Structure 1
């Protein structure tokens, strides 16, 4: 019989066997198709969501041929790259003049003769919403012009026509609570506009803006400001032009060069799609520029993902083929009795992998494309941009399908070899024989685990990520080699357990051939998830530590923008308490100063008073990380020691932050005990009593010496400041006071914006001036869009002199989504592996279950046994994967620690804090929820009724 004829018969047998054992075939198909589906969906999504150059140009200029804009340097020649991303001035060009001396550029004069163009200009504005008012952007652009198509698209309604109409992006309408047909009023000139439609920018779905025709907003606003000095004039941004060539041939590179000579920057579709040679780009003639794309990391990532997918399929589908071969051993024995040799027996099993691999690969590719199409709107919303076209690349999908096919064959390879070694007698009688576990494999695994961890740690300490990656892989392979022994030990754990969990543990230990690969597959998926989640969570914790807060957590502040606006605070406070989620904590703050107030009389700075909290010198007062000897000191510090030193009162206020409370140069605020409780978070009766008695509370102990602080005030007066001149006549007077203070614990030294709280009575005694500054509140959550808009509207009605300061949370949306997807991926693999193992266990142990029922076991034992079998596989794999995943994460953090420590020794004030934080939420989901869910699902879908059958033999 020829080779072709033999394989044809093997394929026919494999096809019939797959149709006969539909349940087992479905399990194998699902585990081959799922990774292929995931890779296919990822490939199509990545290709479709990554805009091509043409799609990016369309998102920026619509159907126009080019975008012309002034470079902002006046009428000075410039040179640019073909994509307009980089530009500079030519050698020998005149020096760029100052902003006041620049001659305006007549950009339209540089357009090709007869060109058609549209202007685009934006202006920041405050408009009314359903909830109040909001700061937004209004863009003057004729959105109804066909040249804008692709840059902006109409979703609902109609384009604006005339001065009283606008369209809004969907994001703006959602946050403002408005819709098509709503009206919004522009604060300042008071002009009202009707929203005639909703639009979206395909390249920026998250943009919040209004669009009006040219001349509908900026010009009337300027005219109103000219008539009424109370109206603040607009401050529009630079204008750009969308240009269409008169001939339709596009804007050529010579056209771009001619515009550059006038100081105009041009992004041309024709030039960007077909750039000129480097010899024709003047900027490259004298600039050492390099634009190399590094694809090594991307290639490594792709190879890693593909390798992991192949490993998952082999580990999960391999046991299924092994069980299938055992279930078909009589059929394979008959092949031997009919003259078939061992190679033909192997061919039958391999043909099963070929058939199921081909069907699984085709199913996975088709399902991947279908799911991408189905979830396309959700993916576009997550990425914030529309797909240009669904980019399906046949050769890439064919490669993915081939990988699935080959993997199916590889998964059947080991069972095929085992089946080929069985004698015909064993195959016909169904005897499995006695097989001992390898004693060498666990020893090799232990050595690989120890050596891999050591190599990974070495790579972390030396900063070589190649050792980190290699050591982590070796360590994971070592754990894989130890899994059979670990599974074998599971049987000893159930001695005192009830019947079902005891049988599940013993069944897992006795059938290591199907249990160990499933546990390994779960471990591999969970290890990757835990590694990435641990590293991401640790980096987030580092960013939290490095973050310079403008307010204390859980607080917001109302601040008067200028002294004259202090009389608006009562109305602003009422609005805030009515609209914000205030939890009851409130504290009013007064600012304090000496002499004339510089915030009012700023014409003559020499006539302003000063108030200074003098910081003593010496150990405990001066930050040792600054000045002479700082670098030498930093060289001997560990990251933890540096963190403790940076958190000390002496160093904590040496780095600047964007503080919401700016009560003065010395950060002295006038307040009472409510400020301690609501803002500082210091609920200490002794501190409250000190304030009531007129003793200041010092939050930064580095300014205290022997329980006292030095307060230096220079009392001056301005000719316009009659009140201060009455209090402090004559020349400038400097006074220094030593005040007894209550020193707060060191952790309160980092309180943003406040260094010391001064009682009103003490300020009066020292002859200092005070005035209302603002109020801080404790809130249940950061104000929502609706709450902020309602409060802003009330502030506007009060006079627009008070503003709301909030502590913006760190943007973690992307990281949270990534962690969620990783957890879901690991959960799906865990459920799939546990389900396959449970299904194989049921198929493999059907005779044992029949015997169990025959000796009187209740019907529910079948359900509970299936549930515990699933739980054992899932929980064991998750626990091993969690331990294995921590290794690469810790090693990578060691790399970060090395780099941060080196930077800290160069710049002693730079933080070297590099924590390792475990993602307990992800770990809890994987170790508690997923295994329990897997067990419950297995128990729910397991039948409790048995059909008794006669046992063969």
Structure 2
């Protein structure tokens, strides 16, 4: 068509958009949604991609270079722009560690100014008690350091007894500006004069003091590890890439401003040749996932907007018929409909881009706090935003393409009379869709289990989903046939949906695509969460307070139990008696432990001596060495039924009966013929199996002769991870012949202790009891639920939007049917009930299909993970050391899926009912 014809079509499209404002606004908003998201994401992503100047300001301030004190003189190879990534080019063995390290100050250029930055992990006394923090002696207020730490309140330290703290530490520790802070190791008290934030680590807990404070020098004198870096203000050309490589040969890591601003080519970077990881490029998996996510999002929008154009074209059939009467052909009608897409898509592109810019600006603070890293400057790239805005016009043209072709094929008589005629659904499309879906499943399985190719895997998932979309019209017809048993209103809604499949099927497919994506991610998260939960080993039952005293052999445990009982919300007796390794200088260690029967005992358990290597080789195929062994935090406790209840939560008269004469065991393998074997032995310091830590202050009393004691046993299955393998009764302890001692503390809690409670308890223990370390078992925490909530909200919004659009189109398209209902006396509430039923039907069908289809990508990704884990297991040979083959199941989130199946259609129906007008205008019917 000529340019003049396109100008006329665009004028017609503009006038039609102004005449049908409601439908035009609906289309503009739907097309603007992906443009809005893409533009906001583009600006936010570019803003968090710091330019070289911003990145260097946060790392080295205004300095020319930052040199890190080496751990040895071994040469290294580093990344040119990231001094945190480097590889050793030698063997860091004991001999290398004993070599004198290069003094960084000795290799500085003449006339250079230096500022030291030293940091170490320490303990501080907070407003609640004791807490861990990073102690950093660094003058962040010096001109050379501006940009590394940003002041947020108060002022910078000026004397050796003043400090500043990060905002996160100030809140977590109950500290205040003007208050005091005590460094635990030196006991020195400092005054807090200001707060700061680290732009790259907003959640950091750090204390800033001047180098003159000398706390870290005292810690280094005690042998505590510290990390020291040097900011250098040097003459121009002092730190070229050649100079950096020369310092790398002496073990010094350098971040040079000149090198970061002008990086060397890859062939001059030994780091890449030495096997260093290149994090600058996206992986194939990231690219494939990004393409699939963006493609499916655009497909959802096209599926929603296309029916809107189809309804608009159908309402203008008489206009198209008049165009044909005056000499217009199919090409002109197609152009008019495509012009609708161009006009509305262009408006949506401009509107979505503007809203995206506003959202990106207003959400900068939220995104920074959520990601823990401040964004850089507001980075707007006009060419990228112009391309995103053009995407809106492209969506409009693609969405209007099929309605344009269908409108051009209408006969002149049908267009002028308004008769639709009867159309039969395609019989080829559902067959092709079923074949396409089966092929997609096969391709996904091949990419996951055979080829191990992520791109092939995701391609198969997309092909399968497209196959199901092709089957949607046929599934609508099948659902309409099954609707005979439904009441009148949902039956009418089902029949209307089946009769108008070109309008309803895309909406169902859009809801399906939204729910499929959410189901895939939720199922995959549930499966990985299952893996992490299975790997987690709790020290005690959830909510319990556990304390051990491994360095003092029970000394002070009674006093520590009293302190914990007074400072934490605990209940019941806390002290645990029993046996654990007791070591003494020049005397060895006394051990009392359970012993597996000979037929279950791995030969490696008794491994020592010159035949060790050969024993390892023979044990690799021994099934006894592949069984999983649980560790015991408490060693071998001695107690009564209450002790068993505290450890396992199990109660019952059989437990008390078993403890009168024997032992209760929580691992069935140790029990043979109703008996368990307890081994008593003394390990000398030269014994390879002897513990390396000697902790008792005096030699052991009388050393009993090594022996095995058989004791009657009863097996009790534990419900969860527990801190012991068994509990001995008092009679069994007397049979062993070694008196039990205090070995730990185990309290039940009334409520979960807070972080402030823990800090107070540590402060109460400090200075009173040494060597007691307690922890609160909070159970498996998993990942934060914020992502799941955001995903659920996005899913509901998209699904409701799709159902609402389809319902609005159905009401607009079925206005004549509603007029007929009003003419025959139907009450106004029928319109509301019918719209709610139509929305419910669309959302329900889309939700059912989405939940079923969404499991395929999750299953394929789990197949891929299982194959990778199995291959790694076979190559490592870990099975010879008691490690079982990894289990990688697909966890189906039935609860979440059931909730979606109930909530999404119900919400769609409620929203449609509330937003529908009940007044019906009765008019004439054409034809």
The one-character-per-residue Cα deviations of 1:750-770 (angstroms, maximum 9, x if unpaired) are 845412212345324533132
Task: Tell me by how many angstroms 1:920 deviates.
Answer: 3.6
* Structure-1 residue corresponding to 2:878: 907
Looking at structure 2, the residues matched to 457 and 89 of structure 1 have their Cα atoms a distance apart, in angstroms, of: 41
User: 1:535 and 2:532 equivalent?
Assistant: no
Which region of structure 1 is more displaced relative to structure 2, 555-564 or 316-325?
555-564
User: 1:671 and 2:602 equivalent?
Assistant: no
Looking at structure 2, the residues matched to 52 and 613 of structure 1 have their Cα atoms a distance apart, in angstroms, of: 61
1:124 counterpart SS class: strand
1:239 counterpart SS class: strand
The one-character-per-residue Cα deviations of 1:390-441 (angstroms, maximum 9, x if unpaired) are 2322222222222221121011111111111112222222111221111221
* Structure-2 residue corresponding to 1:16: 15
Looking at structure 2, the residues matched to 264 and 780 of structure 1 have their Cα atoms a distance apart, in angstroms, of: 53
* Structure-2 residue corresponding to 1:735: 707
Could you say if the C-alpha distance between residues 301 and 628 of structure 1 is closer, same or farther in structure 2, counting changes exceeding 3 Å? same
User: 1:695 and 2:676 equivalent?
Assistant: no
User: 1:171 and 2:159 equivalent?
Assistant: no
Conserved 8 A contact 2:538-2:779: no
Conserved 8 A contact 2:550-2:771: yes
2:598 counterpart SS class: coil
Looking at structure 2, the residues matched to 290 and 695 of structure 1 have their Cα atoms a distance apart, in angstroms, of: 57
Which region of structure 1 is more displaced relative to structure 2, 701-710 or 553-562?
553-562
Task: Tell me by how many angstroms 1:916 deviates.
Answer: 0.9
Conserved 8 A contact 1:60-1:151: yes
Conserved 8 A contact 1:463-1:898: no
* Structure-1 residue corresponding to 2:258: 270
The one-character-per-residue Cα deviations of 1:482-519 (angstroms, maximum 9, x if unpaired) are 11121123333443444432322222122111110000
Conserved 8 A contact 1:795-1:803: no
Which consecutive residues of structure 1, in runs of 5 or more, have no partner in the other structure?
Answer: 226-232, 635-644
Conserved 8 A contact 2:580-2:743: no
| Equivalent of 1:613 in 582, 586, 594 | 594
User: 1:946 and 2:914 equivalent?
Assistant: no
2:227 counterpart SS class: coil
* Structure-2 residue corresponding to 1:680: 648
Could you say if the C-alpha distance between residues 197 and 610 of structure 1 is closer, same or farther in structure 2, counting changes exceeding 3 Å? same
* Structure-1 residue corresponding to 2:772: 802
Which consecutive residues of structure 2, in runs of 5 or more, have no partner in the other structure?
Answer: 606-614, 686-693
| Equivalent of 2:748 in 761, 770, 778 | 778
Could you say if the C-alpha distance between residues 806 and 837 of structure 1 is closer, same or farther in structure 2, counting changes exceeding 3 Å? same
Conserved 8 A contact 2:514-2:798: yes
Which region of structure 1 is more displaced relative to structure 2, 396-405 or 935-944?
396-405
User: 1:64 and 2:33 equivalent?
Assistant: no
Which region of structure 1 is more displaced relative to structure 2, 413-422 or 675-684?
675-684
Could you say if the C-alpha distance between residues 194 and 784 of structure 1 is closer, same or farther in structure 2, counting changes exceeding 3 Å? same
Task: Tell me by how many angstroms 1:726 deviates.
Answer: 6.5
User: 1:423 and 2:411 equivalent?
Assistant: yes
* Structure-2 residue corresponding to 1:788: 758
| Equivalent of 2:133 in 132, 136, 149 | 136
The two structures have a TM-score, normalised by structure 1, of 0.87
The two structures have a TM-score, normalised by structure 2, of 0.90
Task: Tell me by how many angstroms 1:351 deviates.
Answer: 0.2
Looking at structure 1, the residues matched to 207 and 695 of structure 2 have their Cα atoms a distance apart, in angstroms, of: 45
Could you say if the C-alpha distance between residues 396 and 697 of structure 1 is closer, same or farther in structure 2, counting changes exceeding 3 Å? same
Task: Tell me by how many angstroms 1:546 deviates.
Answer: 2.7
* Structure-1 residue corresponding to 2:399: 411
Task: Tell me by how many angstroms 1:53 deviates.
Answer: 4.6
Conserved 8 A contact 1:131-1:176: yes
2:335 counterpart SS class: helix
Which region of structure 1 is more displaced relative to structure 2, 365-374 or 51-60?
51-60
Q: How does 1:427-826 map to 2 (within 5 A)?
A: 427-465=415-453, 466-563=455-552, 566-567=555-556, 569-570=558-559, 572-582=560-570, 584=571, 587-592=574-579, 597-598=582-583, 601=584, 603-604=585-586, 606-618=587-599, 651-653=627-629, 661=633, 663=634, 667-691=635-659, 693-714=660-681, 727=702, 733-745=705-717, 751-779=721-749, 783-796=753-766, 798-807=768-777, 812-813=782-783, 816-826=785-795
Looking at structure 2, the residues matched to 282 and 633 of structure 1 have their Cα atoms a distance apart, in angstroms, of: 44
* Structure-2 residue corresponding to 1:642: none
Looking at structure 1, the residues matched to 602 and 267 of structure 2 have their Cα atoms a distance apart, in angstroms, of: 62
Task: Tell me by how many angstroms 1:628 deviates.
Answer: 7.4
Conserved 8 A contact 1:795-1:801: no
Conserved 8 A contact 1:679-1:778: no
Could you say if the C-alpha distance between residues 723 and 453 of structure 1 is closer, same or farther in structure 2, counting changes exceeding 3 Å? closer
Looking at structure 2, the residues matched to 720 and 363 of structure 1 have their Cα atoms a distance apart, in angstroms, of: 72
Length, aligned pairs only: 902
Task: Tell me by how many angstroms 1:263 deviates.
Answer: 4.3
| Equivalent of 1:878 in 809, 826, 847 | 847
Could you say if the C-alpha distance between residues 95 and 460 of structure 1 is closer, same or farther in structure 2, counting changes exceeding 3 Å? closer
Could you say if the C-alpha distance between residues 144 and 317 of structure 1 is closer, same or farther in structure 2, counting changes exceeding 3 Å? same
Conserved 8 A contact 2:533-2:782: no
Conserved 8 A contact 2:137-2:216: no
Q: How does 1:814-853 map to 2 (within 5 A)?
A: 816-853=785-822
Which region of structure 1 is more displaced relative to structure 2, 233-242 or 148-157?
233-242
Task: Tell me by how many angstroms 1:798 deviates.
Answer: 3.1
* Structure-2 residue corresponding to 1:152: 149
